[in-house]
Amino acid sequence: MPYSVDKRETLKAAILRVFGDTALAVAPVVRLRATAAGIVVAAAVVAGCAAGSGFAGGKIETVPPGDERIVFAAPVFAGTTPQRGKFADYWEREEYALFRGGGAQAEIIYSTVMPGPQVALQYDYTIERTVETWNFNGTQAKIWSAAERVRAPLGEFFYKPYTLAGGSRACFGFANEWDDPAGDPFQRPGKVLFGYYCAKAGQKISLDEMEDLIRTIGVRGITEPIRKSETARAAGAPVADATLIAKGPSASADRGNMNFPFRFAEHFQIGNGDEKKP
């Protein structure tokens, strides 16, 4: 039976819909076309390669020593070891990190496109919407304050304070997006970082304190180098269930994000929709 493809449908979405994750894992073996007919042809070739290639689709995995990217160097988290998980395929890499210390808690997701393909992140979340995706926040009522912005080593962040549990837990959500891929007609980002921070119960935090905390957020390889000494110290750490860490045990848990991985990546075409010329 022939496969039909809406001309408005992205290349990645078409392949995912028809053939699933495995096809995406071997996408580099073909030149993917931009037209509706080309999508079907390319997808069919990819699927044929996937069937006998032995490649597996992207999945949630542990973050090996030295591959950690998310940094939250707040003093309250000093001496603690974040829990992490990651998802990676041909199109993008997403990392999840949970920070806990001194009664405070923060969770962050960092997503970046892979080098090579014409891919951007279809990130259209407001801060309120991202906050609701976290298991910790999703089941609790919130009182929101006005959104703010602050310059940090990683660039300009937007953040929005809120309170949980009748005002006894002071929190704020934050987000940053940057590095727009050249040629994307919609000027979407190639990197996105978002998360939240909640102080320990009963502790208030001012806007200045929130901004100081945001300035300690970074990405290894961007705001600081990846240090080999850190890799060596972490090499003996036990391996945990990455899916359980990143998604959490349930939607009502006190950690994790059931939406992980978000799979923001979308293939794009240069100019009027014609494929990119060599």
- Structure-token pair, residue 278: 């060599």
Query: What is the pLDDT confidence band of residue 224, given thresholds at 50, 70 and 90?
Result: confident
Cα distance between residue 257 and residue 98, in whole Å: 10
Cα distance between residue 135 and residue 196, in whole Å: 12
Do residues 168 and 179 make contact, with C-beta atoms less than 8 angstroms apart?
Answer: no
Do residues 71 and 193 make contact, with C-beta atoms less than 8 angstroms apart?
Answer: no
Strand partners, 107: 98, 196
What's residue 271's pLDDT? 64
Greater pLDDT, 114 or 276 = 114
Average pLDDT, the chain: 79
Average pLDDT over residues 220-244: 69
What's residue 3's pLDDT? 33
pLDDT in tens, 61-116: 999 988 999 999 999 999 999 999 999 999 999 999 999 999 999 999 999 999 87
Element (H, E) at 59: strand 59-61
CA dist 223 to 15, 111, 226, Å? 35, 15, 10
* Residues in contact with 190: Cβ distance below 8 Å, sequence separation at least 6, in sequence order: 112, 113, 119, 120, 121, 178, 179, 180, 181
For residue 187, is it left (φ>0), alpha (ψ between -120 and 50) or beta? left
Q: Judge if the upstream peptide bond of residue 261 is cis by omega within 30 degrees of 0.
A: yes
What's residue 57's pLDDT? 57
Query: What one-letter code names the amino acid at 69?
Result: R
* Residues in contact with 217: Cβ distance below 8 Å, sequence separation at least 6, in sequence order: 70, 71, 72, 73, 108, 152, 154, 157, 174, 193
- Structure-token pair, residue 217: 């957020």
Nearest residue to 147 via CA among 217, 218, 207:
207
What are the structural domain ranges in the chain? 11-57, 60-265
Query: What is the pLDDT confidence band of residue 48, given thresholds at 50, 70 and 90?
Result: very low
Element (H, E) at 173: strand 169-178
What's residue 228's pLDDT? 57
User: Of all residues in the chain, what percent carry a pLDDT higher than 90?
Assistant: 64
